[in-house]
Amino acid sequence: MTNEQEQCNQAWDLIKAGNSEKAFELCSEVLKTTRQSATAFHHRGYASALMGDFDEAIDDFSKAIDIDPHYAEAYCDRGAIIKTRLDNMLFKDIILVTNEHLKALKDYEMALKINPNYAEAYSHRAKIFSDSGAHTKAIIEASTAIEKSNKTEHFLLETYSARALSYFSLGQYDKAIEDYTNAIEITKGQHFAYANRGYTYFKKEEYDNAIKDYDIAIELSPYDSTYFYIRGLSYLNIRKYDKAIIDFNKALEIEPGAKDILIAKKEAQKMLKR
């Protein structure tokens, strides 16, 4: 193993350990010696992405691809950061969104040409299709990602969540619940997975199950007014008006003056007086 390879491996270990800044510095040291290390550019790009510098990350991934046009991970990661950069933009129109999605999809396509079994590339494509409303395509891509993964991949949480969202959007609530449950099994500390499953139960009018999931979501993230609001609506539907009012009040503390919450609170108060 060359010194360059050893340093790149050390940089990747630093990234996995959460020390992106040190990994960036180490890769930069490698690149002072040689500008032909695709691995060093890729790893530095990955570190930049984790530090929130998406433009620099994309630039380094592109340099890695220029050096090694068969670097599947560089294509996949560049596509993912193009999507992440888009998601973090405050102002964007449909033309920008479409163009950025097409750029990312082109990168995923290249990654899959190089490695047709690249599960993470399928997962990223599923998220784009789900976000853009192409739910049948999203389900196919997510299912392929899950099938080709080793079942412990870090991206499976998002894969199950994307497929669940598409099932939900198509009205296939039971399948959505199953996928959100799979997402919860991967990581029990993600409040949004409980909230999403809870909302699916709410749509099925399984209010007790919805309340149980929102109990956990609120415990994990106690400052989201939507969680209190939906749990309050669940209590309202099972005629526990006093508990509904408490939740609506908590939601209004977080989001004062929210019209929908105020309307729901008035309805609970009216029902409680009957």
Give mean pLDDT, residues 145-166: 90
Structure pTM? 0.88
Give me the percent of the chain exceeding a pLDDT of 90: 91
Tell me how crowded residue 187 is: count the other CB atoms within 10 A of its CB. 11
97: confidence class by pLDDT, cuts 50, 70, 90? very high
Cα–Cα distances (Å) from 38 to 4, 59, 105, 109, in that order, read 11, 12, 22, 20
pLDDT at 268: 97
CA 47, 51, 53 angle in degrees (round to 5)?
95
Radius of gyration for the alpha carbons in the chain, expressed in angstroms and rounded: 23
For residue 18, the 8-state DSSP code is: T
- Dist. CA 246–CA 253, nearest whole Å: 11
Is 70 exceeded by the pLDDT of residue 1?
Answer: no
139, containing H or E segment: helix 135-148
pLDDT tens sequence across 108-145: 999 999 999 999 999 999 999 999 999 999 999 999 99
The half-sphere exposure of 166 on its side-chain side, counting CA atoms within 13 A, is 24
**Buried residues in 194-220 as b, exposed as e (16+ CB within 10 A):** bbbbbbbbbeeebbebbbbbbebbbeb
Give mean pLDDT, residues 179-189: 89
Hey, where are the domains in the chain?
A: 190-274
Query: What is the three-class DSSP state of 167?
Result: helix
pLDDT at 37: 95
Q: Which CATH number fits domain 190-274: 1.25.40.10, 1.10.10.10, 1.10.1740.110, 1.10.10.60?
A: 1.25.40.10
pLDDT at 274: 81
pLDDT at 273: 86
Give mean pLDDT, residues 17-44: 95
Is 90 exceeded by the pLDDT of residue 154?
Answer: no
